């Protein structure tokens, strides 16, 4: 695990910080750190009694507004966090830390209720039977156009069974294939190095490929116009370790050689609650090759 010294979106170095807590489920699953109650019996002279949780920092970039956890997990730590993601054992364990998670997870596993909204956004840019790759798409259940796609590929590390009509592919297959649409939905908020993740996708795109990226438009970002207030309101971190502003996502795309076609921010009903998502459509930039 490393600590970010620069913005993970725009690489700026003007960063603000406040103390925060790494949620107990994440801290335990990655590091084996569990909350502890400090009692007078501990005999600590300079530390008051109370509940001790894993400390971290909320970080905000003063240039692009990106809000993120200072901890950047390595490959081994990410593998520990996402092993059996949303599977039976994972759900039981997380429900012990967060009662009610199992019920929310059951709703999420039913599939997205707003795929039609996404397809309406993408429709003007695609043919009737697009060749689609869902990058990080789990089982492929939420892939846009999957019912009429000429080709429905999923690149994901979960190794879960695919939905009917979907094909699980490896990275070599992705690089050798041609896609009309690549979907990268609700992944970028999880990854420790967003620019590197998006650059890998950009390198797999053709000039004509449309990229659809979607992330949560978190309330603390969307509704807090005052950056200082935004920073102060975010005092805990879970599996979403990156909270993007439109400027932050623009910066990531520009850095990896993508040209943005369209921005969207719209409300959705997900996991039994009303949320917002922020999305972009992009193509490879013609002005420079992707590094």
- What's the CATH code of the domain at 9? 3.40.50.150
Is residue 276 a part of any domain in this protein?
yes
Beta-carbon contacts of 194 under 8 Å, excluding residues fewer than 6 positions away, are: 8, 9, 188, 242, 252
Is residue 91 a part of any domain in this protein?
yes
- Cα–Cα–Cα angle for 203, 193, 96, rounded to 5 degrees: 125
Residue 272 is predicted with a pLDDT of 54
Residue 86 is predicted with a pLDDT of 85
With contact defined as beta carbons under 8 Å apart, do 181 and 209 qualify? yes
Is residue 249 a part of any domain in this protein?
yes
Is residue 141 a part of any domain in this protein?
yes
With contact defined as beta carbons under 8 Å apart, do 284 and 207 qualify? yes
Is residue 291 a part of any domain in this protein?
no
Q: Which residues of the chain have pLDDT under 50?
A: 288-291
What's the pLDDT tens digit per position in 159-218? 788 999 999 999 999 999 999 999 999 999 999 999 999 999 999 999 999 999 999 999
d(CA 199, CA 222): 26
Q: What are the distances in angstroms from CA 160 to CA 69, 141, 171?
A: 29, 11, 16
- Number of domains forming the structure of the chain: 1
Is residue 134 a part of any domain in this protein?
yes
pTM flag (> 0.85): yes
Residue 111 is predicted with a pLDDT of 66
Is residue 41 a part of any domain in this protein?
yes
Give the residue numbers spanning the domain of 152: 2-284
């Amino acid at each position: 695990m490393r600590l970010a010294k620069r913005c993970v979106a725009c690489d700026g170095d003007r960063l603000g910080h406040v103390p925060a807590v790494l949620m107990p489920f994440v801290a335990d699953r990655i590091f084996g750190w569990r909350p502890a109650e400090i009692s007078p019996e501990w005999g600590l002279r300079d530390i008051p009694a109370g509940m001790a949780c894993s400390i971290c920092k909320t970080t905000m970039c003063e240039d692009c507004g990106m809000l993120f956890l200072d901890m950047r997990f390595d490959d081994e730590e990410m593998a520990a966090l996402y092993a059996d993601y949303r599977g039976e054992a994972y759900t039981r364990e997380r429900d012990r830390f967060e009662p009610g998670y199992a019920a929310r997870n059951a709703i999420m596993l039913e599939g997205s209720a707003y795929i039609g909204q996404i397809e309406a956004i993408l429709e003007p840019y695609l043919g009737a039977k697009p060749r689609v790759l869902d990058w990080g798409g789990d089982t492929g259940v939420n892939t846009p156009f999957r019912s009429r796609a000429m080709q429905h590929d999923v690149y994901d590390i979960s190794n879960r069974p695919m939905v009917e009509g979907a094909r699980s592919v490896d990275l070599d297959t992705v690089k050798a294939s041609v896609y009309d649409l690549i979907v990268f939905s609700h992944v970028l908020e999880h990854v420790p190095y967003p620019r590197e993740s998006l650059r890998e996708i950009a390198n797999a795109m053709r000039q004509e490929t449309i990229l659809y990226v979607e992330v949560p438009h978190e309330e603390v970002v969307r509704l807090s116009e005052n950056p200082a207030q935004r920073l102060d309101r975010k005092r805990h971190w879970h599996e979403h370790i990156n909270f993007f502003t439109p400027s932050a996502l623009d910066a990531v795309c520009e850095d990896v050689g993508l040209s943005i076609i369209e921005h969207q921010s719209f409300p959705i009903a997900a996991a039994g609650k009303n949320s917002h998502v922020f999305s972009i459509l992009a193509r490879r930039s013609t002005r420079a090759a992707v590094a």
